[in-house]
Every structure is written in C-alpha cells, then in structure tokens.
Structure 1
Amino acid sequence: MTDHDLPVIAHWIDGAESAPTGGRTAPVYNPATGAVQAHVALAGEADIQAAIASASRGFAEWSGSSIAKRQSVLFAFRELLNARKGELAEILTAEHGKVLSDAMGEIARGQEVVELATGFPHLIKGAYSENASSGVDVYSLKQPLGVVGIISPFNFPAMVPMWFFPIALAAGNAVVLKPSEKDPSASLWLARLWKEAGLPAGAFTVLQGDKVAVDGLLEAPEVQSISFVGSTPIAQYIYETASKNGKRVQALGGAKNHMLVLPDADLDLVADSAVNAGFGAAGERCMAISVVLAVEPVADELIAKVTERITKLRIGNGADADEPDMGPLISGAHREKVASYVDIAEADGATIVVDGRGFSVDGHEEGFFFGPTLLDEVPTTSRAYTEEIFGPVLSVVRVNTYEEGLALINGGEFGNGTAIFTNDGGAARRFQHEVQVGMIGINVPIPVPVAYHSFGGWKKSLFGDAKAYGVHGFDFFTREKAVTSRWLDPATHGGINLGFPQNS
C-alpha cells in the first residue's frame, strides 16, 4: 500500500464524517512498528467555521431537551461504551502504543466520569428562598454555557475527553472536541457512539487539526469555554489566549511528580510502586512519578530493588497476544527528546543505573521504543530534574531529612501530584498539610482522584480556577442566574414606591 492509498481520518460535523476542505494532513503512526498507518485531516478556516456552526445548531436542540431526555442519552452512551470498550482499547493501542490492559484502564477511568454524569440532575439544580423579603422570593437557575471546546493530548485520547464531555453534555452544552493529531481515531469512535446513543447531530463535533484548529476555537466568539490538558507552556498559552477572548478556561499543564520515601517505609511496596508509576504507559502521563526522594539511609537498598524489577519488565508491541508490560513512545521525535534528557543528566553528573537509550525490540526495530531508565544522584540543578521528561525515566535524589525532601517538592514550579511512603501516620498527616501540591498519595503512587472528587494541580500545573470533573466540572459547564420574584396581591398593593428596596 502506498502513502496515497492510506485512509484519511476526517472531522465529525453534523452527525457524520466530514471530508476536509483543505489539503493539509499529518501522518498517524503505529508507534510499535514506526509505519504510517493513516493520515489525519488538519482543519482549515472553512472546517473550523463548519464545526462551530454545527455545534451551535446542536446546542439549540440539545439544550432544549428535557432533563429526562438528556439523562436517557447519557445512560445509553454508558451502556454502549461498556459493551464495546474493547474496540476502543484496540484503537488506543494501535495509535498510541500503550498495552491493551493499560488502554482498558484508561477507558475505565473515563467511564467513572460518564457514570458520574448520569446522575447530573441533582448537580445542576438551583436553590429557592421563599419570602426573602416580604412577598419576594429569590431562586437560582443553572444553565449551560453554549458551545464548549475541548482540546485533548495524545497520551490519553479517550480518558481526557471523557473527563470533560460527559459533564458538558449533561449540563446541556454542545461540545467541539479537538483531539491530538497523533492519535485521532478514538474521537471519531466516540462520536459514532454518541450518535447511536441518541445525541442530536452537532451536539458532539470533532475538529481534527493542529495549532490552526486550536487557535480557531480560542478565538471564535461562539465558543464559550475551553478545557485543555497538555504541557505547561501550551496550557499557559491556552489560558491567556482564551481568557483574552472572554472564555472560561480550565487548562491543566505539566508536572514533575515526586515520591518522598521515609526510612520506615516498606521498600518492596515502594519499589513496586515506583516501577508502576514511573514506567507504566511508558511514563507518558502527567501523574507519572518522575523523582524518588529517598531519605537516607534507604537509597542504595531501594535502587537495588527497583533495578531488579526493571530487568524483568517486558517491552514490546502492546497489541501482541503475549502482552508486554510497556509499549513504545508516541513518536520518533519524542523518543529523541526523552533521550536528550538522559544525555543532560549524564553530563550534569548523574549516575545511569539502567540505560534505556538505544533500546529496540526484535522484529520491531523501526518502532519508537525507549527502555526503562533509572538515574541516581541527579543534581537538582539539572534540567533532567527540573523539567518534565514525559518518558520512562525515573530519577533518584538522595536527601537526609523529611524537611529537605519537602523543601524540594515545594520549591518546584509544578504542583500536580506527589506521594509519600511511610508507616508513620503522623508524618503522612504532616505531609498532606505542608506539601504545596494539588493531588497527594499516601502509600499510593498515582493519586488520581475518583470522579466525584476533582482532578487538578497547583502552581504551573493548572491555569484557571476550575479543576476537571467532580463538582468543579458541573460548576465550570454551567452558569447561574439569580431571579428575584414578586407576584402582587391585588388586595394589599399599596401603589408606587421609588425608594431603594429593603427588608421590612
């Protein structure tokens, strides 16, 4: 098959696949083989306008639907997703590279938000105060925003959109999803499922593309809000540009998550957790543990245990029947970027305990594989320590006290996730109070909150006031009206009073 024979992944507009109007496309790779398996359309101005116009029409119909109707569509989507999630997992593995079990785990975490959203009537109801003043009642209404934009990253092409769109749709909004151009097919699969569930055409729109599509959503006056997950520089750009254009924004950025290991911790539990949190999904997740802060004298023993576990990890094609533990990175360019950070660490004086550079898989030599990498004594001044690597690289930094480790965590520019491993309840309680991070694990390495809480960090890990899903999500995707009402009683009406209203 030649490059010209490969399929082109299209937009989803007006409830159907929509051929792109421009000629721009980008390659979509199979990361395990390195081969181009499709091309994805890159939206031009006409595509952007068509998508937004479709969503505006969809909003007019969907927002006018009864709560009961909206809830029935959400339940139908939940059932369809649960029945067919294996199909979606295969798409994720083919385009992202993650192993099938990890893809199924991604979908399961997205399903939690779908299930939360099915109970939305309780979460969007207003409040009522009778006789707030004599004969005056005051009540509030929660109404949808309108057309809302979601810009999702490559690492979770199903879960991250599901953090936002179930709640947005439950509240009566219309969604325009701009997926990553690196793994775009999951978005169309989800769009077809919404159509089958009974969602009106236009209420869920997919706009494929790159920065042109992103800027189109950020600047369009019809788009009322933007939800984003990605790197911190892009999150800041999204926040500043969308805010300048009068939109609500929840922009979740990058991370450099630390695990603080106290001397009393169970080191076997710590080693298992560090390997799972550092190398799961090939480290391509914002909640990955990047740095182990080992309070001496545990570092040597812990490094030995982690090294032993790394040597047993199986790396390969995530679609293989004999499923490996870890798949490839998303692209060749990203693999080179990850390798560059290991080069930096080595040049800055770190010890390379396990080196994943140059790793390849037999039969998949062109795949974008990078072996699990363990670094020791990484200088805290090195860019390999201060910047997000987003790959299977775990750094160990040795500290002498709890206070020294805490200061390193709090001194970083990110505040996404962190964990402490200890058997001392007092130390754990102190840590959760003193650490300046939004999501904390106590003997839990990846503390992603369940759906009825909310996801989001502090500092440069979150731009905007609203976190993802939970109560924050329903607050973000609705706006409140307050109504002050008086119905006059003809028997007691006393004429005109031009004074300022006051209680009597």
Structure 2
Amino acid sequence: MRDITHFIDGASVAGTSGRYGEVFNPNTGAVQAKVALASPSEVDSAVASALRAQQTWALVNPQRRARVMFEFKRLVEARLEELAELLSSEHGKVIADARGDVQRGLDVIEFACGVPHAMKGEYTEGAGPGIDVYSMRQPLGVVAGITPFNFPAMIPMWMFGIAIAVGNSFILKPSEKDPSVPVRLAELMLEAGAPKGVLNVVQGDKTAVDAILNHPDIKAVSFVGSSDIAAYVYAHGTATGKRVQAMGGAKNHGILLPDADFEQATKDIVGAAYGSAGERCMALPVVVPVGRKAAEEIRERVLAEIETLKVGLSTDPAAQYGPVVTAAHKTRIEDYIQIGVDEGAELVADGRGFKLQGYENGFFIGPSLFDGVKPSMRTYQEEIFGPVLQIVRAETLEEAIALPSGHQYGNGVAIFTRNGRAAREFASRVNVGMVGINVPIPVPVAYHTFGGWKRSAFGDINQHGMEGVRFYTKTKTVTARWPEGAQDDSAFVIPTMQ
C-alpha cells in the first residue's frame, strides 16, 4: 500500500502526527493508499520553509519568475497522461475528464506566464508642481490554498500559479480524498526552477485547516469547497487578519426557452448534469423549461439520452462517467434521491442500485432524473453533488429568472434560446455570478475571473485573471518630488495638487 506524504522544503516528508486517512480506488472500493494527516507543527514547518523561500523569490524579477512558470507548464504538458491517470485512479473521473482537469489548470498557468505585464502599476507625470505619482504591486508573503476533491489539479493551479508568479510562496492543503496529484505538481514546480519552499503541500483535515487559518505568518487564504465550510473559513480567516476568498457550493440552473435548439440543448444539459458524475461546482443539476410543451419535450429527450449513457471504469475510454469519489459520498447522493421521492417529486430514472459487473464494490451510481420538483423541496434547495438532474417547470421567463435569482446559491446559470433579446435581458437581470448563453458550464477563460454570488462565494475578489493578481498582491502608491532650493511653509498644511 502506498504512503502519500507531505512535500515541504523541496522534499517528501513523512507524517509525524500518527494520523492517517484512507485513499480509495473508486472503481473497486478498495483502499489503495494511506495519506498522512498533518499536525499544527507540520504546518509550522511548511510555513517556516515558505517564509525563507519567499524572501528571495520576491526579489526575482517578474520576467525570470515567468520563465519558471513557462517551464512548469512545459513539464506538466509532458506528463499530462501520467497526471491524468493518477488523478483518475483516486478521484474516479474518466481519463478524458481528468485530462481536462489538468488542462484547465494549465490555462491559468499560461495566464501567469504574463506576470510581467500583470504586475505593472500606474504612473502619472506632473500630478502637481514637480510631483509624479506611481503605484506598484508587491506580493503579500506566504499565502495558502485549501482545495476540494473534485478538481485536484485544476483548482490548485488556479491558486498557486498566480500566487507564485507574483512573488509569494504557497502552502497547499489539498483534499485528503485524492492527494497524490498536488504532490506531483509541487515536485514539477521545483524541477521547473522554483526554489525549495516556494510551493509546499501539507496533507490533512480540519486540524491542518485550522492551523493554516490561525497561523500569523500566512497572509491570505483561498478556499473552494462546501458553503458551510467556506463560511467558516471566511469568518475564521478574516478574524485573524487574513485576506480570504472562499468559494462555496452551487445549484446551477439551465433555463430552457421554447425556441431553443432542443437537440443541442439536450446534449449540453445531459453532459453538464452527469459529466464527472455530477461532482462539479459548475455542474447543471436543474433544468427549468418554460411552458408545458418545452417541459414535456426536454423530459422525453433527456430520458432517451441518459438511457444511452455508459457508466464505467474511470479507465474505460468509452465511459461517459465513472464512480463517485467515496462510499460515503455515494450513500449521501442516494439518500438525497430518497429524500426527493419522499418529498413527492417524480423519480423518472433511478440510478440507485447500479452495479458494474466485476466491480460490484465500486462507488458507481447510475443517472437519475426527477420531474415535478418544487422550489420548496429540500433536494432543490441543497446541493446534491452527484449524477442527479431535476426538472423544475416554469410558465414564464419571469418565473424562470426568479428561480436562480432567489436561490441561496449563485454560482452559475445558463439559458438556452435563439432569442438574443431574451438572452440579453436574462444575463442582465439574473442574480447569479456567472452566466452562460447556450453554454451549459460557463466557466470563464483564464484571463477573465471565476466567482459566484450569495452563498457560493465569501469575499469580494474572484479567482484567477486580474482578480487573482489583485488578491495575491498589495498596492503601494508613491508620490515623489525632487525639489531644488529652499521651500516655503506649505509643508505645515495638507498638500494639494493646485
């Protein structure tokens, strides 16, 4: 059985806490590795290493830091298959989806390669008599990221790529459910030329999270996970004086207007709802058809489509999706399906009890479909995070806009229509942070920013793009004058730029 360790000060470090977590093979249900769970002292060691590294790394000019990011990108691309297979083996997503996980992380690394431009400040010549004003961006110091199980490559790279490029050092606390890829990424960052200690990986659970939040030398924390924990991280981190961005859960809606291309919309909705077994914060678990005709048509089309879906091993190239990450998560999803039945929703397709021949102990769930779901139902109000699609019917566009706008989560939303005016009105009015128009999963490209609203995000700065640069830097503004000769008494009053 493999032992998965920490990566501190440029080396693999065995756990000293005596506590370990189990890492499963989701295809078989068997334990394949044990991962060390850090104590506060191990977090202290990582921070001490990061402090030493950051003092010199911050002095490296942005162009040279960019060269390290270019080399890291090259190394990751060269090992894409290795990383995807490792990721798939612990998470359960199919290999093609695992490749996408790595690639979307690399998109942000590509953006980080432009750090010399992103770090530029502003300059005003002659703001007053002989006075120039300019600003500069400087790194915060040691920063940290706490990342979820569903994207063990992408989300860490979203965080540490920009943070390291602008001159910080980084402490990464990945999910203990699939912890191997983050360690491999840290090894490649060292190989790319980053000094040891610039990227440390501390494995762990709540003990490690609290140690990060309480550590006085960690200046900022980025988090992605459930909303309840995001709220905790934000409250606790800001209370200790840290800058915090904490991304939470989601209940993304797909609004389907009667004039939509139903053939394309069906494929988009099914892929967004069931891809990666629904374990995406930008999945599309709710479809809102407007009008009875649209509702009946999408129900029949989705039902026909999911009957053709192949649920299989994560290594099966023909499988559309694989198992969920753990037995506990499988039970949680199945419990939600039963809650939906008990609440009175119509279970059109039931994915419970799905068994893959030869892999009966794997964490597989077939695609489930509910119709007649009401906004008052718990299964609508809460995030299921599995291969479950709910149909919530609406009579008008106004009613359809109100559903995602009034929901506690506000991560993403999509509208399917050929009507440009309706789409424009929807995008303008809906109370959600990211909008797709005929795009089912509206994750922005790397040079824009990612972030939801309401209980989907805590903090006012989004991830990646220039928002990421702003999150991981502080602005210093300089007002400069080079006088000649004696000055008058104006120094005793508040200066103006008259």
Q: Counterpart of 1:288? A: 283
Q: Counterpart of 2:168? A: 173
- Superposition TM-score, scaled by structure 1 size: 0.97
Partners of 1:162 and 1:45 in 2: CA distance: 24
Within the candidate set 179, 182, 188, 2:183 is matched to 188
Please list the CA deviations of residues 102-136 of structure 1 after superposition, one character each: whole Å capped at 9, or x if unmatched.
01111111111000000111111111222222122
1:65, CA displacement in angstroms?
A: 1.2
Within the candidate set 238, 250, 255, 1:255 is matched to 250
Residue 310 in structure 1 maps to residue 294 in structure 2: no
Listed as ranges, the matches of 1:61-76 within 5 Å are: 61-76=56-71
Q: Counterpart of 2:206? A: 211
SS of the aligned residue for 1:298 comes to helix
Query: Contact 1:85–1:104 at 8 Å: present in 2 too?
Result: yes
Partners of 1:237 and 1:244 in 2: CA distance: 11
Residue 153 in structure 1 maps to residue 148 in structure 2: yes
Within the candidate set 289, 295, 300, 1:299 is matched to 295
Within the candidate set 261, 269, 285, 1:266 is matched to 261
SS of the aligned residue for 1:126 comes to coil
Partners of 1:181 and 1:356 in 2: CA distance: 27
Query: Contact 1:275–1:309 at 8 Å: present in 2 too?
Result: yes
Q: Counterpart of 2:450? A: 455
Q: Counterpart of 2:439? A: 444
Please list the CA deviations of residues 161-202 of structure 1 after superposition, one character each: whole Å capped at 9, or x if unmatched.
111111101100000000000000011110110011000000
Partners of 2:287 and 2:487 in 1: CA distance: 73
Partners of 1:346 and 1:45 in 2: CA distance: 44
Residue 144 in structure 1 maps to residue 139 in structure 2: yes
SS of the aligned residue for 2:285 comes to strand
Please list the CA deviations of residues 51-71 of structure 1 after superposition, one character each: whole Å capped at 9, or x if unmatched.
111111111121111222211
Partners of 1:461 and 1:162 in 2: CA distance: 20
Q: Counterpart of 2:404? A: 409
Listed as ranges, the matches of 1:393-408 within 5 Å are: 393-408=388-403
SS of the aligned residue for 1:409 comes to helix
Within the candidate set 93, 115, 118, 1:120 is matched to 115
Please list the CA deviations of residues 8-43 of structure 1 after superposition, one character each: whole Å capped at 9, or x if unmatched.
111011101011111100000011110100000000
- Mark the runs of 5 or more structure 2 residues left unpaired by the alignment: none
Residue 331 in structure 1 maps to residue 326 in structure 2: yes
Amino acid at match of 2:267: D
Amino acid at match of 2:452: G
1:495, CA displacement in angstroms?
A: 7.5
Tell me: CA distance 1:351–1:120, structure 2 relative to 1, closer, same or farther (3 Å): same
Please list the CA deviations of residues 348-391 of structure 1 after superposition, one character each: whole Å capped at 9, or x if unmatched.
11111110011111111110011110111112211111100000
Query: Contact 1:344–1:382 at 8 Å: present in 2 too?
Result: no
Residue 498 in structure 1 maps to residue 492 in structure 2: yes
Deviates further, 207-216 or 394-403 = 394-403
Amino acid at match of 2:390: S
Query: Contact 2:412–2:435 at 8 Å: present in 1 too?
Result: yes
Amino acid at match of 1:344: I
Partners of 2:287 and 2:441 in 1: CA distance: 13
SS of the aligned residue for 2:393 comes to strand
Within the candidate set 38, 42, 51, 1:43 is matched to 38
Query: Contact 2:63–2:115 at 8 Å: present in 1 too?
Result: no
SS of the aligned residue for 2:245 comes to strand
Partners of 2:337 and 2:411 in 1: CA distance: 23
SS of the aligned residue for 1:398 comes to coil
Partners of 2:118 and 2:407 in 1: CA distance: 36
Query: Contact 1:21–1:46 at 8 Å: present in 2 too?
Result: no
Partners of 1:165 and 1:496 in 2: CA distance: 47
Q: CA RMSD in A?
A: 1.1
Tell me: CA distance 1:36–1:500, structure 2 relative to 1, closer, same or farther (3 Å): same
Within the candidate set 416, 419, 439, 1:421 is matched to 416
Deviates further, 123-132 or 452-461 = 123-132
Partners of 1:46 and 1:429 in 2: CA distance: 53
Residue 85 in structure 1 maps to residue 80 in structure 2: yes
Amino acid at match of 2:296: D
SS of the aligned residue for 1:431 comes to helix
% identical aligned pairs: 51
Partners of 1:417 and 1:498 in 2: CA distance: 54
Tell me: CA distance 1:497–1:184, structure 2 relative to 1, closer, same or farther (3 Å): closer
1:497, CA displacement in angstroms?
A: 4.3
Partners of 1:442 and 1:13 in 2: CA distance: 44
Please list the CA deviations of residues 282-323 of structure 1 after superposition, one character each: whole Å capped at 9, or x if unmatched.
000010001111112211221111111111111111113x43
Stretches of 4+ aligned residues off by more than 6 angstroms: none
Amino acid at match of 2:82: E
Partners of 1:376 and 1:477 in 2: CA distance: 44
Query: Contact 1:177–1:204 at 8 Å: present in 2 too?
Result: yes
Partners of 2:395 and 2:493 in 1: CA distance: 70
1:493, CA displacement in angstroms?
A: 4.6
SS of the aligned residue for 1:483 comes to strand
Partners of 2:217 and 2:235 in 1: CA distance: 18
Partners of 1:422 and 1:437 in 2: CA distance: 18
1:498, CA displacement in angstroms?
A: 2.5
Amino acid at match of 2:352: R
SS of the aligned residue for 2:492 comes to coil
Listed as ranges, the matches of 1:223-234 within 5 Å are: 223-234=218-229
Within the candidate set 101, 105, 116, 2:100 is matched to 105
Residue 467 in structure 1 maps to residue 491 in structure 2: no
Within the candidate set 49, 52, 64, 2:47 is matched to 52
Deviates further, 212-221 or 62-71 = 62-71
Within the candidate set 312, 315, 319, 2:315 is matched to 319
Partners of 1:278 and 1:261 in 2: CA distance: 14
Amino acid at match of 2:84: A
Residue 432 in structure 1 maps to residue 423 in structure 2: no
Q: Counterpart of 1:3? A: none
Amino acid at match of 1:387: E
Within the candidate set 21, 42, 47, 2:16 is matched to 21
